[in-house]
Amino acid sequence: MTGMERNSDIVILASYAPLLVNVNPGGMQWRTDLIGYDALTSFGSPSYYAQVMFSQNLGKEIVESTISGAARASSIR
């Protein structure tokens, strides 16, 4: 999702599949579905909430970061 946001001038549309899953016994084919449901309720998976977060927040700020104590790539053999 961050790659799509970074390339938003090129990426026009994105989709998530598989989208819905019946959580009754025998109804689940994949465990990565976005929304689970049964006869009475529905719920979003953690991936659903990640999609919601990206839809409601723009990456307008760059957070500076540094790393210390790591070996340089040239010194690793």
Q: Which residue would you say has higher pLDDT here, 46 or 73?
A: 46
The reported pLDDT for the residue numbered 74 is 62
User: pTM of the prediction?
Assistant: 0.60
Whether the pLDDT of residue 70 is over 80: the answer is: no
List pLDDT tens digits, range 23-60: 888 777 777 788 888 889 999 988 889 888 888 887 77
Q: How far apart are CA 70 and CA 58, in angstroms?
A: 31
Average pLDDT, the chain: 82
Backbone angles phi, psi at 37, to 5 degrees: -150, 160
Q: How many contiguous H segments (helices) and E segments (strands) does the chain have?
A: 2, 3
Q: Is 54 helix (H, G, I), strand (E, B) or coil?
A: helix
